[in-house]
Amino acid sequence: MQRTQLDAELRAQLPASTREAWPRHANYAQGAKHLQDIHRAMLANSEGMTRVLTALAEGHVATAQIAAAAKNAHDVARHVVDHLHTHHRIEDEQLFPQFARWNPKISRPLALLEADHRVLNAAGSVLDQALRSYPKAAAQATEYARVAQAAAQLDRVMRRHIADEEDIVIPAYLGLR
Ligand SMILES: [Fe+2]
Ligand SMILES: [Fe+2]
């Protein structure tokens, strides 16, 4: 919730590699690219839902467009929450144990990511609850405040987590130790 970057001690346990070099690596297409593509799609959806819900809450959507914007933001947010759970399950049950066996040095960084998943699940539950009492069609702007806040919080935590996760997991995908 509060981390602004990976701490130096933890970073020292990772192999030296730079984000810019990943796509040029011979092994990039074997899994690493797929994970980054999924993450980009998750972040694009999360950015979209947060932007539209915030605009609705601040009264910045033209009256004629409110109904369509609200429905679309709801559906995207629903997808973000559901996809998050599936994505974490695959990482926790398959991906992370596999990488921890392959390179025990990154066990602690991987444990941090698993702990992040619990924080993300909690933020996802807050948004899930807000979606269950989503404002009705004729709602006032202020009624979108709760769901907009929940979306913004999840978006912020997801961005931090995905950036750190890629720094930890992509080098392992590329076969760097
Ligand atoms: Fe993750
Ligand atoms: Fe992930």
Cα torsion 24, 26, 30, 35 to 10°: value is -20
pLDDT tens profile 35-81: 999 999 999 999 999 999 999 999 999 999 999 999 999 999 999 99
Ligand nearest, relative to CA of residue 92: 1
Domain ranges of the chain: 26-174
pLDDT tens profile 90-140: 999 999 999 999 999 999 999 999 999 999 999 999 999 999 999 998 899
Centroid of ligand 1 to alpha carbon of 76 (angstroms)? 19
Q: Which CATH number fits domain 26-174: 3.30.565.10, 1.20.120.520, 1.10.10.410, 3.40.50.300?
A: 1.20.120.520
Ligand nearest, relative to CA of residue 38: 2
Centroid of ligand 2 to alpha carbon of 62 (angstroms)? 35
Cα torsion 80, 35, 165, 78 to 10°: value is 0
Is residue 162 packed enough to be buried (19+ CB in 10 Å), middle (13-18) or exposed (0-12)? buried
Centroid of ligand 1 to alpha carbon of 137 (angstroms)? 34
pTM value is 0.96
